[in-house]
């Protein structure tokens, strides 16, 4: 039996995608023991399934006690919640947060001043998305690393529903995070900050209970922490591993957005997404039965040569051709904010450290499950400053 590509550790974040795409050239669907599901490997099939959230459903995210989570819903119930999110996290709305995010990035990078080496993940990136949320939402920073651990336990459980061992720690973490979030959300006096605005918007829409407001806030916390950590380390690693791209970006900051989009393809942490099949159906010439789970390989789609010319090459001019934020109805609600966060951190770091490079004595290792999370990434990014 050949080893699952999800078991491989590699010096390059692109190895997983390459391996999945190579499998996809032979067969569009392959069962993988480690992921305990059939892998859908080709771009057109992954895209088709992501678009069809009726048949390839996200309902499994709504395991009790998380029934009211936006991502678990489809159709009108989903749209209603999504409309509210879009008011605060659309590209235009998110652009308003740029200066504040930059200030948070500046503080995170300034902590590295005076040092000659660092692990960018632990010394900077890991606490940055939390700092952005605390600042934007206007909530106290009293959870610290505990908040990150809770979010990770919950998302790891939801993002890997086939692994029953993750359910109990996930539920326990959810209870603690919900209890904490309940202390922040007061429907009677929502507060004069973004958190208050989000709560007020839910109440104004009507038919939302206080519990649903709490869940809306939790949705943001679950969506925006570890994903951003992995994406930022993946983007920085991509530049540090591709010297020509790094030099080009240093010389012309207008290229940073292109570099970030290409890193979302080349090094995207969302290796894939599970879906629950709601009726017997056929995809990629394969029959999927009602009630089964399927794993849609975003990383494989990113290296599919029928869509991405010369996919191994890290190409600054490729544009936003990736599925790193998903696709279809559940396309990431925080994508504009995530882009602002990644851009602010990359730009600030490159400006502050003109000689930033990988530490040759401690190269990064990319693997699925890094930092105990259900994504592909690295635990550490050791650099010389
Ligand atoms: C670079 C960082 C990020 C990445 C790679 C990412 C990735 C994704 C992906 C792949 C999905 C689709 C999940 C699925 O269809 O099963 C998603 C959904 C979602 N994301 Fe993000 N995300 C990021 C940052 C954020 C941020 C900062 C927020 C909050 C402001 C956020 C909030 C959400 C929400 C609420 C959903 C569910 C959307 C829905 O069900 O309609 N994400 N994200």
> Is there an atom of ligand 1 within 6 Å of 324 CB?
yes
Contact between 373 and 231 under an 8 Å Cβ cutoff? The reply is no
The one-digit pLDDT tens for each residue of the chain (385 residues) are 578 999 999 999 999 999 999 999 999 999 999 999 999 999 999 999 999 999 999 999 888 777 888 899 998 889 988 988 888 899 999 999 999 999 999 999 999 999 999 999 999 999 999 999 989 988 888 788 888 889 888 888 887 777 888 889 899 999 999 999 888 888 888 788 888 888 888 887 776 677 888 888 888 888 888 889 999 999 999 999 999 999 999 999 999 999 999 999 999 888 999 999 999 999 999 999 999 999 999 999 999 999 999 999 999 998 777 999 999 999 999 999 999 999 999 999 999 999 999 999 999 999 998 877 778 999 999 999 9
- The phi and psi torsions of 343 (rounded to 5 degrees) equal -60, -45
Cα 326 to middle of ligand 1, angstroms: 8
Q: Which atom of ligand 1 is nearest to the CA of 61?
A: 16
Tell me the pLDDT tens digit for each residue of 158-212: 877 778 888 898 999 999 999 998 888 888 887 888 888 888 888 877 766 778 8
Domain count, the chain: 1
Residue 280: give its domain's CATH number: 1.10.630.10
Alpha helix ranges (H) inside the chain: 15-26, 43-51, 76-89, 91-95, 98-110, 120-123, 128-137, 145-159, 167-184, 194-205, 210-224, 226-241, 243-251, 256-266, 298-302, 335-352
> Is there an atom of ligand 1 within 6 Å of 298 CB?
no
Contact between 24 and 15 under an 8 Å Cβ cutoff? The reply is no
Domain that holds residue 30: 5-384
Q: Which of 293, 350, 297, 364 is nearest to 326 (CA)?
A: 297
Cα 306 to middle of ligand 1, angstroms: 26
> Is there an atom of ligand 1 within 6 Å of 41 CB?
no
Cα 189 to middle of ligand 1, angstroms: 28
Q: Give Cα separations from 185 to 67, 143, 154, 197, 201 (angstroms).
A: 19, 15, 20, 11, 13
3-state helix, strand, coil split of the chain in percent (to 5) is: 55, 10, 35
Give CA–CA dist 304/22, Å, rounded: 8
Q: Give Cα separations from 371 to 121, 156, 233, 240, 384 (angstroms).
A: 10, 10, 12, 20, 22
Tokens of 297: 């390989």
Tell me the pLDDT tens digit for each residue of 278-314: 999 999 999 999 999 999 999 999 999 999 999 999 9
Residue 39 DSSP label = E
Give CA–CA dist 103/93, Å, rounded: 18
Contact between 291 and 34 under an 8 Å Cβ cutoff? The reply is no
Q: Which of 9, 8, 29 is nearest to 292 (CA)?
A: 29
Hey, whose CA ends up nearest to atom 4 of ligand 1?
A: 227
Per this entry, what is the length of the chain? 385
3-state secondary structure of 117: strand
Cα 222 to middle of ligand 1, angstroms: 8
3-state secondary structure of 378: strand
> Is there an atom of ligand 1 within 6 Å of 234 CB?
no
Cα 228 to middle of ligand 1, angstroms: 9
The label of the residue with tokens 């939790």 reads 218
Give CA–CA dist 299/22, Å, rounded: 11
Q: Which atom of ligand 1 is nearest to the CA of 219?
A: 35
Classify residue 262 as exposed, middle or buried by CB count within 10 Å of its CB (0-12, 13-18, 19+): buried
């Amino acid at each position: 039996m050949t080893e699952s590509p999800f078991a491989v550790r590699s010096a390059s974040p692109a190895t997983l995608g390459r391996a999945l795409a190579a499998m996809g050239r032979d067969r569009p669907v392959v069962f993988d023991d480690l992921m305990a599901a059939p892998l859908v490997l080709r771009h057109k099939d992954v895209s088709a399934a992501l678009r069809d959230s009726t048949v390839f459903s996200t309902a499994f995210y709504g395991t009790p006690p998380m029934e009211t989570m936006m991502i678990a819903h489809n159709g009108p119930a989903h749209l209603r919640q999504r409309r509210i999110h879009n008011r605060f996290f659309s590209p235009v709305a998110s652009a308003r947060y740029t200066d504040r995010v930059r200030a948070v990035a500046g503080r995170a990078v300034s902590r590295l001043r005076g040092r000659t080496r660092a692990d960018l993940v632990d010394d900077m990136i890991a606490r940055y998305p939390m700092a952005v949320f605390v600042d934007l939402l206007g909530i106290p920073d009293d959870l610290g690393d505990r908040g990150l651990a809770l979010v990770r336990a919950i998302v790891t459980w939801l993002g890997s529903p086939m692994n029953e061992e993750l359910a109990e720690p996930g539920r326990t973490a959810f209870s603690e995070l919900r209890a904490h979030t309940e202390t922040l959300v007061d429907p009677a006096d929502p507060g004069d900050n973004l958190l208050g605005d989000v709560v007020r918007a839910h109440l104004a829409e009507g038919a939302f209970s206080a519990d649903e407001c709490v869940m809306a806030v939790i949705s943001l916390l679950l969506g925006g922490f570890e994903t951003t950590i992995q994406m930022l380390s993946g983007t920085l690693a991509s530049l540090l591993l591709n010297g020509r791209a790094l030099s080009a970006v240093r010389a012309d900051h207008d290229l940073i957005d292109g570099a970030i989009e290409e890193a979302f393809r080349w090094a995207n942490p969302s290796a894939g997404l599970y879906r629950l099949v709601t009726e017997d159906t056929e995809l990629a010439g394969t029959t999927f039965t009602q009630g089964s789970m399927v794993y849609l390989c975003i990383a494989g789609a990113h290296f599919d040569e029928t869509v991405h010319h010369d996919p191994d090459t890290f190409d600054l001019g490729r544009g936003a051709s990736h599925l790193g934020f998903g696709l279809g109805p559940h396309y990431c609600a925080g994508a504009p904010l995530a882009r602002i966060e990644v851009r602010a951190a990359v730009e600030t770091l490159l400006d502050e450290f003109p000689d930033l490079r990988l530490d040759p004595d401690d190269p990064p290792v990319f693997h699925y499950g890094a930092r105990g999370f259900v994504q592909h990434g690295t635990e550490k990014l050791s650099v010389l400053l």
